[in-house]
Structure 1
Amino acid sequence: MTKPLVTILDDERAIRQMLTDALEEAGFETMSFARATEFEAALKTAIPDVCLVDLSLPDKDGLTLVHRLALEQGASVIIISGRAQVQDRVTGLELGADDYIIKPFEPAEVVARVRARLRKAAPAPQSTETARFNGWTAHFERYILVDQAGQETAFSHAEGEVLRLFLERPKRLISRANMQETLGGAAGESFDRAMDVRISRLRTKLGEDPKNPRLIKTIYGAGYIFLGDVSWG
């Protein structure tokens, strides 16, 4: 069985070595990089399962890189950063990161978070990666939405998690607690705001009227309901 590949992007040698040792001991394959340019070059041939990304990089803005990784690569992204402000965590999640770990941290915590992301990313037994609803087709293996005219629109890994949750539970109320339990992450203002942003972006990509959406309805004080007719396969 192929070992999951975890890439580590951090300009501190000691942190790269600490994470490499912990992850490889836990059974993962790793690749580590000190600069974003080296990391991006490696992505042309390597397909990581999880990317660990520091925000304070010497050659590029870490938040911009996180957004591109989530949108174009479809990889699970975990930010590792010394920035502990709530706004930094919220911004990272809004841009598509799946988790945010504040330095200093224990290597065992990172290993646990990586394993959690891989469990959530793994397809359910007998599940499929294509869903059709109301003239749209969602290809989860390619992170692409296709409309009736064949026009393609990309969505991020994080947006895909929310979309899949809706499509797997059509016409059922999904509360914030349901979302937090299914998607993971710490409950609270940061999680709620990240969900609001992802749902807003999904509505935009689905051509929804923000004042009167037809598919993803907000039930104020309760949660959301997806009103489309969904078929898988």
Structure 2
Amino acid sequence: MSALVTILDDEPAIREMLSDALQDAGFQTMTFSRATEFEAALRRTTPDVCLVDLGLPDRDGLSLVHRLALEQGAIVIIISARAQTQDKITGLELGADDYIIKPFDPAEVVARIRARLRTPKRAASSNTARFAGWTAHFDRFALEAPDGIETAFSQAEGEVLRLFLDAPKRLISRAQMQESLGGNAGESFDRAMDVRISRLRTKLNEDPKNPRLIKTIYGAGYIFVSDVEWV
């Protein structure tokens, strides 16, 4: 069955344009103009990808992005006219997987969705990994600490974590991350990775000045230094 993409935008022309492009590309779509309608639909269905506009008439889209990232496990892509760097950073910090600025080419949206659906997280068969006393539960997007306390992580953070856990004790360059995770190379992608790695380190109780698990190799990339057991 083809992936289901939900489109939340208060502009009818944009909803129609995106829906037509995605259906032509083989996706299923559902469209919504208000957050309340969208949230009601989530109680009945589970989308694979959520396209979310930030300028909604009934609530701020950023708070909705945060909830989707933590509770739904769907890929979340913001589509917004807000082009300021800080808006992009905030959206990524709240758990969005990508940020597309209006106006846009519908073909680019289709390409970015396909890239996200090809990530290692969805391809791997195992959903649980153990490392350094921690357990990562990718089926429910939770990190379990050695003392049993769980902390939620977003889809975007999970993609990066799984990339590290699939290649422990090996250097992962920025170019390899970009190729595996999708997105456009450049300052925006680098900033997104910085945000996600910083948030992962915080959730792993890492010392930001001397992290134990996710090591930065300046000018080269990152190394995840622990042994990993997939179960």
* TM-score > 0.5, shorter chain as reference: yes
Q: Bigger shift: 24-33 or 115-124?
A: 115-124
Aligned with 2:170 (options 169, 172, 176): 172
Q: The residue matched to 1:113 in structure 2 has which SS?
A: helix
Aligned twin of 2:227: 229
Alpha-carbon distance in 2 for matches of 1:42, 1:139: 26
Aligned twin of 1:181: 179
Amino acid of the structure 2 residue aligned with 1:97: A
> Following TM superposition, by how much is the alpha carbon of 1:179 offset from its aligned partner in structure 2, in angstroms?
1.4
Q: CA RMSD in A?
A: 1.7
| Contact 2:47–2:74 under 8 Å retained in 1 | yes
Residue-by-residue CA offset, 1:79-133 (whole Å, 9 max, x unaligned): 11122233322332232221222222232222222222222266336x3111110
Q: Bigger shift: 31-40 or 142-151?
A: 142-151
Alpha-carbon distance in 2 for matches of 1:161, 1:225: 15
After TM superposition, what 4+ stretches of structure 1 lie above 4 angstroms from structure 2? Answer: none
Q: Which runs of 5+ in 2 are unaligned?
A: none
Q: Bigger shift: 59-68 or 105-114?
A: 105-114
Q: 1:107 to 1:193 in 2, by over 3 A?
A: closer
Aligned twin of 1:5: 4
**Correspondence 1:58 to 2:57:** yes
Residue-by-residue CA offset, 1:5-51 (whole Å, 9 max, x unaligned): 11000001111122222222322221111111111121122110000
Identity %: 77
Alpha-carbon distance in 2 for matches of 1:104, 1:60: 22
| Contact 2:66–2:94 under 8 Å retained in 1 | yes
**Correspondence 1:16 to 2:6:** no
Tell me the number of residue pairs that the alignment of Structure 1 and Structure 2 aligns. Answer: 231
* Equivalent residue runs for 1:7-46 within 5 Å: 7-46=6-45
Aligned twin of 1:98: 97
Amino acid of the structure 2 residue aligned with 1:64: S
TM-score, with normalisation over the residues of structure 2?
A: 0.93
Amino acid of the structure 2 residue aligned with 1:118: L
Alpha-carbon distance in 2 for matches of 1:97, 1:175: 22
Q: 1:167 to 1:190 in 2, by over 3 A?
A: same
TM-score, with normalisation over the residues of structure 1?
A: 0.92
Q: The residue matched to 1:123 in structure 2 has which SS?
A: helix
